[in-house]
């Protein structure tokens, strides 16, 4: 009964984890979509058009700085979502450790902080680029834009690509440890439940055998008493 109850509680916890898993899949897809290089290129191309359509140096530099402001705001949202997913998965790990004695697990590391820092540094580099007269004054607009995109924006695209690879790797592996623990624990519970069931069956079998032996004992006792009675009569009446 105790083993069976534990299995019921365990399966309830697994059901809760399945809900969390479905939420994880939703959040995972959102995160990867935010890091989609195609979407990033759309943002960059749209910004490039806006920058190219400016006619003043002030408008040009404002457009370049604004682009990196948007890039950093987007990555801040990505970083925030990654932290939410990490917290959700750690809670799932802790649930099984707390409720069912699973070995304590720590999530595989996912640190997007360094990518966020790189983008912030690129934003600072962009501001320096825009303030340096050597880069802006006396140069044709298309040359300035081309240099801006080939140096600074290209690095930002690379940072996004590296961050996406890091996230894909983490998102693929984060479920594996707890999935394996769940499978192993389920097998252990089933083996223990089967063992207890077998013991109970053996006890029932022994009870049946004991009951039959008691019936036989009763029958033999009756027969013995009848024989004893008959022998007694024969001894008391030899001529009978």
> What is the end-to-end Cα distance of the chain in Å, rounded?
64
Residue 26 vs residue 53, higher pLDDT = 26
Cα distances from 125 to residues 57, 87, 118, in angstroms, run 18, 33, 10
C-alpha 188/C-alpha 195 separation (Å) is: 11
> What digits encode the pLDDT tens for the residues 202-222?
677 777 777 777 877 776 677
Between helices 141-148 and 37-52, what is the axis angle to 10°?
A: 160
Q: Which of 40-44, 136-140, 172-176 has the lowest mean pLDDT?
A: 136-140
- The C-alpha angle 164, 168, 172, rounded to 5 degrees, equals 170
Q: What is the mean pLDDT of residues 171-194?
A: 78
pLDDT value for 117? 95
> What digits encode the pLDDT tens for the residues 44-80?
888 888 887 877 888 888 888 999 999 999 999 999 9
> What digits encode the pLDDT tens for the residues 87-127?
988 888 887 777 777 777 788 888 899 999 999 999 999 99
Cα distances from 1 to residues 7, 192, 212, in angstroms, run 10, 12, 28
Residue 54, class by beta-carbon neighbours within 10 Å (0-12 exposed, 13-18 middle, 19+ buried)? middle
């Amino acid at each position: 009964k105790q083993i069976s109850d534990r299995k019921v509680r365990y399966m309830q916890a697994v059901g809760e984890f399945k809900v969390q898993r479905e939420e994880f899949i939703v959040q995972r897809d959102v995160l990867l979509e935010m890091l989609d290089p195609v979407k990033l290129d759309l943002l960059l191309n749209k910004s490039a058009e806006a920058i190219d359509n400016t006619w003043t140096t002030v408008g040009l530099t404002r457009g370049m700085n604004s682009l990196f402001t948007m890039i950093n705001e987007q990555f801040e949202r990505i970083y925030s979502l990654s932290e939410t997913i990490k917290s959700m998965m750690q809670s799932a790990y802790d649930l099984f450790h707390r409720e069912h004695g699973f070995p304590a697990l720590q999530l595989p590391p996912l640190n997007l902080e360094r990518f966020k820092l790189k983008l912030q540094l690129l934003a600072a580099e962009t501001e320096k680029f825009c303030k340096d007269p050597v880069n802006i004054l006396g140069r044709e607009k298309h040359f300035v834009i081309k240099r801006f995109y080939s140096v600074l924006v290209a690095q930002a695209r690379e940072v996004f690509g590296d961050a996406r690879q890091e996230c894909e790797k983490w998102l693929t592996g984060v479920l594996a440890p707890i999935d394996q623990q769940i499978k192993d624990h389920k097998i252990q519970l089933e083996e223990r439940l089967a063992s207890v069931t077998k013991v109970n069956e053996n006890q029932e079998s022994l009870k049946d055998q004991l009951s039959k032996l008691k019936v036989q004992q009763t029958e033999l006792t009756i027969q013995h008493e009848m024989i004893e009675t008959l022998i007694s009569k024969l001894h008391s009446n030899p001529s009978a």
